[in-house]
Structure 1
């Protein structure tokens, strides 16, 4: 087992926050030196707080179907919805059918721009990472196979977009080529660009985020998904130390968000997934026990 499951949960949530922040900074000031996370006040983070809300709801309800989707801002695109639904991908990473069914509940947003199959493509990627089954070279064909079996459709706009991403990866195409190829299509390219930025540099979170920051007007959303994917894959050790604590240095912390609060949230989500969450127990107390929890089968197979 390369990384503790707890560290992957933590890095997924923290990576999404950092990704949105870096994307917003680059939108606000394109001349800002890439590779730095500014200590100046940020524009208000829109989707990271939504991730926190749904994570907290999932912890307390243990399923997503009971969550009231009307109480928070409504995502307008699949990528925005996926940022909000990151806890769903983490919580149901063991069972693709349950993952598909819980993502289907996002139809409660009643927005035709939110495509369930695209949500599943990102969720399936996170699931493969957490089960330590992700091969960057074969991930997309595997996701397409799962999509066809679950949706009972041979060809969709999602599978077509995934196939285009796979061709870009096979050709080792640069970012400009990827932008031209994916943006020229009719479908929203956010998820495809995020997958491209992650899979083209899977072992380098910093580079993946810096490339996704240069994807245009939607870079904050694309960066957030890229940060979540790369965070899950590279774990906490893959996030630069200065980035890990960048949230705490912002002059105007968004919604009182801190690095420790994100880590504690991941602790509680993992405890809920493992069935040991006690709302009366402080995160600091049970957080000491969580590193012993691992993905099912992983440790047994290694013994």
Structure 2
């Protein structure tokens, strides 16, 4: 293999986290906000060529009911991904009760910190794809099991259009799985992904447009503008009854743009993670989400070695400066350190591989780890 599977696990999570951080930094530059200013708009200000008037208003990637990207913080879905990764490690697989408890606890603590007797929080497809990333990694071996587990895992998420939400997550998860297995061919990735989805909806329509843009070798500005226009035109291609049913839908066509852009940015420069993520940031659309999705795709394909060292250093330095200056909670998806992210990826890989005691660190005296098929060797219960 060109890259070890462990390095690919590390690259997937680290690429997503540092992509998120890079997108935020670029977003601040475009908005003219000093680096340590917390009051960020959740949606990136569109660059000049992207200021498209769609149905009388500019594209908004969030619904009014979505809580995850409102306000200054748009990394909540990343922190949920970390929490769900810990659930997979803790339970040595997908335990639906623990998975659901983790989600409900996260909603109450992160989204609705004040006591609420009733709450409803809905992720858009891009946020849900980031949150479900560890599930796609853990079940990457078998595409049938991948579909089954993603369906079960995302069933805990409230959504008014669950099938469309899950289709977008499956598209992203399948590409991650193919990369982890060293079977992703950039030239046929879109075609294989659509074949795997076995459906025809806005997600597949946008992916088809991405394929056309790649075949035409379209530049970044052309691709971003074309995908924006394509997303805005999708509702007009549907019947009147379908349009009415989606009028109040949380999942709308604009919410699918970051995934489509992430596929374009990755597949147009598949061997260069830095360039892919920077191009994603320059799209000017939902910078953090687009960059996080692109970083995960490229990280899974190229491994941790493709992550620029200076990105890790700058991110860690920024976290420390914010902690000292503002007393804020650690960023980088709540971990506070890229080292913690790598450790998380290592532990997830260890559980996937059947390690007897994944919590034993690399410096532990128990370095000679026992590995076996799942459920053959288990921790001793005292």
TM-score bracket relative to the smaller structure: 0.7 to 0.9
Instruction: Please name the residue that 2:78 is paired with.
Output: 48
Instruction: Please name the residue that 2:268 is paired with.
Output: 200
Pairwise CA distance, 1:75: 5.5
Q: Specify whether residues 4 and 211 from structure 1 end up closer, same or farther in structure 2 by C-alpha distance, changes over 3 A only.
A: same
Deviation per CA, 1:171-226: give whole Å up to 9, x if none.
11111111122112142311111111111111111111111112224111010010
Contact 2:335–2:341 (CA under 8 A) maintained in structure 1: no
What is the CA–CA distance in structure 2 between the aligned matches of 1:139 and 1:288, rounded to whole Å? 38
Consecutive unaligned residues of structure 1, counting only runs of 5 or more, are: 33-37, 294-303
User: Is 1:90 aligned with 2:137?
Assistant: yes
What is the CA–CA distance in structure 1 between the aligned matches of 2:266 and 2:365, rounded to whole Å? 32
Instruction: Please name the residue that 1:65 is paired with.
Output: 96
Contact 1:212–1:223 (CA under 8 A) maintained in structure 2: yes
Deviates more, 1:195-204 or 1:110-119: 110-119
Match among 254, 264, 281 for residue 360 of structure 2: 281
Consecutive unaligned residues of structure 2, counting only runs of 5 or more, are: 39-72, 108-120, 235-252, 323-329, 373-382
User: What aligned pairs does 1:176-215 form with structure 2 within 5 A after superposition?
Assistant: 176-184=221-229, 185=231, 186=234, 187=253, 188-215=256-283
What is the CA–CA distance in structure 1 between the aligned matches of 2:88 and 2:78, rounded to whole Å? 15
Instruction: Please name the residue that 2:29 is paired with.
Output: 29
Pairwise CA distance, 1:278: 2.0
Instruction: Please name the residue that 1:157 is paired with.
Output: 202
**Displaced runs of 4 or more, over 6 A:** none
What is the CA–CA distance in structure 1 between the aligned matches of 2:365 and 2:85, rounded to whole Å? 18
Contact 2:258–2:285 (CA under 8 A) maintained in structure 1: no
What is the CA–CA distance in structure 1 between the aligned matches of 2:279 and 2:206, rounded to whole Å? 19
Instruction: Please name the residue that 2:16 is paired with.
Output: 16
What is the CA–CA distance in structure 2 between the aligned matches of 1:28 and 1:215, rounded to whole Å? 14
User: What aligned pairs does 1:112-261 form with structure 2 within 5 A after superposition?
Assistant: 112=160, 115-148=165-198, 153=199, 155-184=200-229, 185=231, 186=234, 187=253, 188-250=256-318, 251-252=321-322, 253-254=330-331, 255-261=334-340
Higher helix share: 1
Instruction: Please name the residue that 1:269 is paired with.
Output: 348
Contact 1:268–1:283 (CA under 8 A) maintained in structure 2: no
TM-score where L is the length of structure 2: 0.68
What is the CA–CA distance in structure 2 between the aligned matches of 1:246 and 1:286, rounded to whole Å? 33
* Larger RCO, structure (CA 8 Å, separation 6 or more): 1
CA-based RMSD of the aligned residues comes to 2.5
Deviation per CA, 1:92-136: give whole Å up to 9, x if none.
000112211222131321123661111111111111111111110
What is the CA–CA distance in structure 1 between the aligned matches of 2:267 and 2:89, rounded to whole Å? 30
How many aligned positions are there? 281
Report the 3-state secondary structure (helix = DSSP H, G, I; strand = E; otherwise coil) of the residue aligned with 2:282: coil
Contact 1:64–1:102 (CA under 8 A) maintained in structure 2: no
